[in-house]
């Protein structure tokens, strides 16, 4: 089975559509959304509806901190994120609010665990930014593969037979065998707001048959999204960071 794993869409319709169009061409059997469907971006309504339609059609989805913040005002956020959330909240209709609130924090598929931030304390939104921060996730579960997002920078981390945890370099587009002697954490890069100095939308493909993972990047019309952000009065920094990918 081939899974397309998308995360941190953040209300970016152009990026989300571009990735879904790419997914169409790659013989994908099932889509996984790792949360943060809304927040930051100018099209939260469209993205939430699209995500709900995908789930209706069989996609797996988990909740991100921004999705939770739509209904939960106690969710603590940075200044810019909070400002964007204040702009987003009134735009969500009842159905969209319900859909986002009902998303589970984790989902499992065979030996794979899906979570937005970190497998240990998924509701605490811990950033898995390296081997050290990944150890907790390996400890709390027995899943062989853990997919998460939240960081907006893709990463690949493994835990070996002797318990050593290490982060690996990878190349975009190259298929990496996730050898079975190790457990792996795949931090998937962001669709709607990449922060690794490339503005291209990021996602990942897992082929459970060949047990291979590829990180992918898709170019989309960043300028349009940035223009929309400026037109709506969302914080300017959200537009510039999209253009720069940071």
Size of the site for another protein (CB under 8 A): 19
CB neighbours of 213 closer than 8 A, spacing ≥ 6?
A: 156, 175, 176, 178, 184, 186, 204, 205, 206, 207
Asked if residue 142 binds another protein (CB under 8 A), the reply is no
Asked if residue 171 binds another protein (CB under 8 A), the reply is yes
Which region, judged by CB under 8 A, interacts with another protein, from 69-77, 93-101, 166-174, 232-240?
166-174
The CA distance from 92 to 139, in Å, is 37
Q: Give the residue, chosen from 166, 219, 227, 231, that forms a contact with another protein under the rule CB under 8 A.
A: 166
The CA distance from 90 to 41, in Å, is 14
Which region, judged by CB under 8 A, interacts with another protein, from 12-20, 28-36, 97-105, 178-186?
178-186
Q: Which is nearer to another protein, 129 or 232 (CB)?
A: 129
Asked if residue 176 binds another protein (CB under 8 A), the reply is yes
> Left (φ > 0), alpha (ψ -120 to 50) or beta: where does 198 sit?
beta
Q: Give the residue, chosen from 170, 195, 196, 246, that forms a contact with another protein under the rule CB under 8 A.
A: 170
CB 159 within 8 A of CB 183: yes
CB 118 within 8 A of CB 124: yes
Q: Give the residue, chosen from 158, 190, 193, 225, that forms a contact with another protein under the rule CB under 8 A.
A: 158
Q: Determine phi and psi for 173, rounding to 5 degrees.
A: 90, -20
Q: Which is nearer to another protein, 178 or 191 (CB)?
A: 178
Q: Give the residue, chosen from 1, 102, 132, 160, that forms a contact with another protein under the rule CB under 8 A.
A: 160
Q: Give the residue, chosen from 25, 76, 142, 181, that forms a contact with another protein under the rule CB under 8 A.
A: 181
What order do you get walking across the sheet with 30-33 strand by strand?
A: 60-61, 30-33, 2-6, 201-207, 212-218, 176-177
CB 99 within 8 A of CB 52: yes
Which region, judged by CB under 8 A, interacts with another protein, from 83-91, 120-128, 135-143, 175-183?
175-183
**Shortest approach of another protein to residue 14 CB, angstroms?**
30
The CA distance from 168 to 152, in Å, is 17
Q: Give the residue, chosen from 124, 169, 197, 209, that forms a contact with another protein under the rule CB under 8 A.
A: 169
The CA distance from 245 to 194, in Å, is 5
Provide the binding-site residues for another protein, judged by CB under 8 A. 156, 158, 160-162, 164, 166-171, 174, 176-177, 179-182
């Amino acid at each position: 089975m081939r899974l397309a794993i998308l995360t941190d869409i953040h209300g970016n319709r152009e990026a989300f559509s571009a990735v879904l169009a790419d997914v169409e061409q790659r013989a994908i059997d099932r889509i996984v959304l790792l949360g943060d469907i809304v927040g930051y971006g100018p099209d939260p309504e469209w993205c939430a509806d699209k995500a709900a339609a995908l789930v209706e059609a069989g996609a797996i989805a988990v909740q991100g901190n921004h999705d939770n913040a739509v209904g939960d005002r106690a969710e603590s956020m940075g200044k810019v994120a909070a400002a964007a959330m204040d702009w987003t909240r009134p735009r969500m209709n009842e159905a969209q609010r319900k859909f986002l609130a009902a998303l589970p924090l984790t989902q499992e598929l065979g030996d794979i665990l899906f979570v937005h931030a970190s497998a240990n304390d998924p509701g605490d939104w811990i950033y898995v930014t390296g081997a050290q921060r990944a150890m907790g996730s390996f400890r709390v579960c027995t899943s062989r593969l853990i997919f998460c997002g939240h960081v907006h920078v893709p990463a690949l981390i493994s835990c070996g037979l002797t318990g050593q945890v290490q982060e690996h370099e990878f190349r975009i587009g190259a298929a990496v065998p996730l050898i079975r002697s190790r457990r792996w954490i795949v931090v998937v890069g962001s669709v709607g707001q990449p922060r690794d100095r490339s503005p291209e939308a990021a996602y990942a493909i897992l082929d459970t048959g060949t047990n291979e993972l590829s990180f992918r990047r898709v170019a989309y019309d960043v300028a349009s999204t940035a223009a929309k952000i400026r037109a709506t009065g969302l914080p300017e920094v959200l537009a510039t960071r999209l253009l720069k990918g940071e």
